[in-house]
Structure 1
Amino acid sequence: MNLENPKKLRPIVEQARLVAENVFRPISRKYDTAEHAYPKELDMLAALLDGMNEGGARASASHLSQDDGSSSPEASGTTRNGGNLTGVLGTMELCWGDVGLLLTIPRQGLGNAAVSAVGTPEQKEKFKKSWVAMAITEPGAGSDSAAIRTSARLDGDEWVLRGEKIFVTAGERADAVVVWATLDPALGRAAIKSFLVPKGTPGMRVVRLDKKLGIRASDTATIELDDCRIPKENILGSPEIDTKKSFAGVMKTFDNTRPVVAAMAVGVARAALDRARELLKRAGVLTREERTFTRAPAAESELHRLEAELEAARLLTMKAAWMADNGIPNSLEASMAKAKAARVANETTLKCVELCGTVGYAEQELLEKWARDSKILDIFEGTQQIQMLIIARRLLGKSSTELR
């Protein structure tokens, strides 16, 4: 078992760290204050990522896909470190800089990961240079994705969508949106499908942008769909309703993206711990002396505990991503990583603010911002409660109807 970062991925990790330090950190407070202003500084970074991907670096959301299992360790006798592990390692470093800015890098949306996970070759080619957002949540359907009421009906060679979506990350800035809708509400989860809706499609409009507690550099939109017509081929996955498989197809995206959210949590928690140590040393609370855990000051003991929790979250995250790269089913591990890392990030950022007192609470330090940013990581992509429910179902072998 090798717990170090793979050698071939270390240059990408180092580049991500340089971006976090030299691009994200200097503008972090600027776009936290100027919510909804587009960070133009990210255009050059997006172009750089595009170039890296064209060169085979697999450094974007468009490379977050489940391997088909043909190259699994059992099948091939070797292991691989692909787009998923690359993605989480890069994300950890970038979110050491700023979570909100990561979420608004062009062409790195959750919808891009969805296209990569379940899109056809034609869809992947058509949208490979697009920035694709994801629209799941509705006023009456938050954590329970199966409660979606946005409808889709086939009319000749077009799908007609009707409904409202809220909390759409990059909903205004994206070139297209993956919309979750139901073909028949009476059939529940089995009828939930996802559809690609390009920006500018008649019938789809952004009705407002929301102000938020954190990740303010990222725009969050409410989108209305009123008889919005898209081509028949814009459905992601099969249009057939299979009650036995439920909506496993559209949910497959989360097996790839939940480890990425966990990586965001690891990154911001590491940033808070690093800065708290700096500030506490400067104040003389921590020293360079070697001490046993029991003889350390209370603040130092607390930092040791948080670092241990963070390391556990980091390893869970890397395992979930590695499994996806190697064709091993990882739904359980993806939820474990997301649940653990998000909870650790929430606790760590708030505790670092507390340990640093008035300095940690003030705007001249980013600690208070990181505490605000971290909260969303325990909410989107499935709340803490939903993750624990998924984990329990997997461990106990229960279905969603048996364990609610």
Structure 2
Amino acid sequence: MNLEIPKKFRSLVNNAHQVAAGTFRPISRYYDRHEHERPRELDMLASILDGFNEGDPSNSAGAATTGANGEAGAEGVRNGSNMGVCLGAMELCYGDVALMLSLPRQGLGNAAISAVATDEQKQRFDGKWAAMAITEPGCGSDSGAIRTTARREGDEYVLNGEKIYVTAGERADCVVVWATLDPSMGKAAIKSFVVEWGTPGMELARLEKKLGIRASDTAAIHFQDCRVPAENLLGSPEIDTSKGFAGAMQTFDNTRPLVAAMAVGCGRAALERLKELLADHVNLDYDQPVDNGSAVEAEIYRMEAEWESAYWLTVRAAWMADNHQPNSVQASMCKAKAGRVGNWITLRCAELAGTLGYSEEELLEKWARDSKILDIFEGTQQIQNLIIARRLLGLSSSELR
């Protein structure tokens, strides 16, 4: 295993770091305080992530190179767009998680399109900024409990239901909506639809006020007799009970390493800032046994070790996707580890920094707030552990709940 960043990504990582430090951090506090104000400074930076995706904006999470859409059999080791996007996201979230989520054309819905769309659909939605709408008032972690319905009428589907906590829901050009074709058919009937803003029957209900990632708009959207062209259903319209939820869940295999990378970047920001603040009081000597140092030094060593394990789990999941290896377990592992570790590190750094960590004089308290969502969305900590256990034990969802 090569423990160095691939040479092809080094300029990408450096550029993303410069954006994080020079653009994101100076405006971070302002947009945290002005929650629903759009960060106009980001419009000119929209092309930054295009470079992460090897020039293809539709490949926002590297999803087009994974799963059924990947072309297996390539010789040698490939470091592709999954790796690039994750490394870039780590650096951008070193600056600000919410501002990274607010970059145009880089919504989580773009990863869903890349994961399950046909070639024609990918071309048609190329350049669109797509949010992703899964969560409902009565459906959170159990995506199989979705109750938003899609009824076929001629050349259209009629959507009815409500989606909440849609990241970039208002600002995006369109929303990838998960809905069921037949509630009696269970998870196999759940499909995703691209619904563009301006479609009759699609209405913004409200923008949420949140604990963290305040610069990113989080919307609730109502669908009432919303008519969507049949060709906007992503992938196959057929209900295949033998495949179950596989088609829809492939999206998560593509986005969970990306969210893990975000947690890794935020955690690194807090850890590095803490070490700067304590530079005159602690002496980190990595040649000495941990027991020879102070309690604070030992705590920093532990955080660094946990952070590094989260980092490598994330890199591994991305590498597997680039090399067309099934990565569902690894995607859940890195999401579970990085989400938990990132939130723990940011909170602990805020504590160890004392009054500076608790005040708005430093960004430490903001990073602690922002990091919590990274342990929740794209599947909570508990859901990730459940998925991992099922895969390792070879049990179905009905056998292990």
Deviations 1:175-216 (A, max 9, x none): 000000001111110111100101110000101000000000
* 2:202 pairs with 1:204: yes
Q: State the partner residue of 1:363.
A: 360
Tell me how far apart the structure 2 counterparts of residues 126 and 302 of structure 1 sit (CA, whole Å): 51
Tell me how far apart the structure 1 counterparts of residues 387 and 272 of structure 2 sit (CA, whole Å): 32
Q: State the partner residue of 1:129.
A: 127
Deviations 1:61-111 (A, max 9, x none): 164331558755xx3441101110001000000000000101110000000
Letter in 2 for 1:61: S
Contact 2:53–2:59 under 8 Å retained in 1: no
Q: State the partner residue of 1:287.
A: 283
TM-fit CA distance, 1:288: 6.3
Tell me how far apart the structure 2 counterparts of residues 237 and 58 of structure 1 sit (CA, whole Å): 19
Tell me how far apart the structure 2 counterparts of residues 49 and 353 of structure 1 sit (CA, whole Å): 30
TM-fit CA distance, 1:369: 0.3
Instruction: Give SS of 1:327's match.
Output: coil
TM-fit CA distance, 1:53: 7.0
Q: State the partner residue of 2:398.
A: 401
Change (3 A) 1:142 1:55: closer
Tell me how far apart the structure 2 counterparts of residues 319 and 383 of structure 1 sit (CA, whole Å): 20
Report matched runs for 1:152-191 at 5 Å. 152-191=150-189
Report matched runs for 1:57-96 at 5 Å. 61=60, 63-65=62-64, 66=66, 68=68, 72=72, 75-96=73-94
Deviations 1:123-164 (A, max 9, x none): 111211111000000000000000000000100000000000
Deviations 1:272-310 (A, max 9, x none): 0000000011xx321366643111111111011000000
Contact 1:320–1:333 under 8 Å retained in 2: yes
Tell me how far apart the structure 2 counterparts of residues 215 and 113 of structure 1 sit (CA, whole Å): 20
Change (3 A) 1:54 1:111: closer
Count of residues in correspondence between the two structures: 399
* TM-score, scaled relative to structure 2: 0.96
Change (3 A) 1:139 1:54: closer
Contact 1:49–1:60 under 8 Å retained in 2: no
Tell me how far apart the structure 2 counterparts of residues 297 and 28 of structure 1 sit (CA, whole Å): 33
TM-fit CA distance, 1:371: 0.3
Letter in 1 for 2:307: L
Change (3 A) 1:125 1:57: closer
Q: State the partner residue of 1:245.
A: 243
Structure 2: tracts of 5 or more residues without a match: none
Report matched runs for 1:375-386 at 5 Å. 375-386=372-383
Tell me how far apart the structure 2 counterparts of residues 346 and 332 of structure 1 sit (CA, whole Å): 21
Contact 1:210–1:221 under 8 Å retained in 2: yes
Tell me how far apart the structure 2 counterparts of residues 33 and 138 of structure 1 sit (CA, whole Å): 27
Q: State the partner residue of 1:33.
A: 33
Change (3 A) 1:3 1:42: same
Contact 1:64–1:256 under 8 Å retained in 2: yes
Letter in 1 for 2:342: A
Contact 2:57–2:127 under 8 Å retained in 1: no
Report matched runs for 1:258-337 at 5 Å. 258-281=256-279, 284-287=280-283, 291-337=288-334
Tell me how far apart the structure 2 counterparts of residues 293 and 18 of structure 1 sit (CA, whole Å): 34
* 2:6 pairs with 1:6: yes
Contact 1:59–1:86 under 8 Å retained in 2: no
Tell me how far apart the structure 2 counterparts of residues 54 and 324 of structure 1 sit (CA, whole Å): 14
Instruction: Give SS of 2:203's match.
Output: strand
TM-fit CA distance, 1:49: 4.0
Tell me how far apart the structure 1 counterparts of residues 104 and 156 of structure 2 sit (CA, whole Å): 28
Q: State the partner residue of 1:45.
A: 45
- 1:354 is aligned, of 351, 355, 360, to 351
Q: State the partner residue of 1:18.
A: 18
Structure 1: tracts of 5 or more residues without a match: none
Deviations 1:232-259 (A, max 9, x none): 1100111111111112101101111000
Change (3 A) 1:387 1:67: closer
Contact 1:160–1:230 under 8 Å retained in 2: yes
Tell me how far apart the structure 1 counterparts of residues 52 and 121 of structure 2 sit (CA, whole Å): 18
- 1:113 is aligned, of 92, 111, 134, to 111
Contact 1:349–1:371 under 8 Å retained in 2: yes
Contact 2:111–2:254 under 8 Å retained in 1: yes
Identity %: 64
TM-fit CA distance, 1:231: 0.6
Contact 1:190–1:247 under 8 Å retained in 2: yes
Deviations 1:26-74 (A, max 9, x none): 1110100000100000011004444x479737796164331558755xx
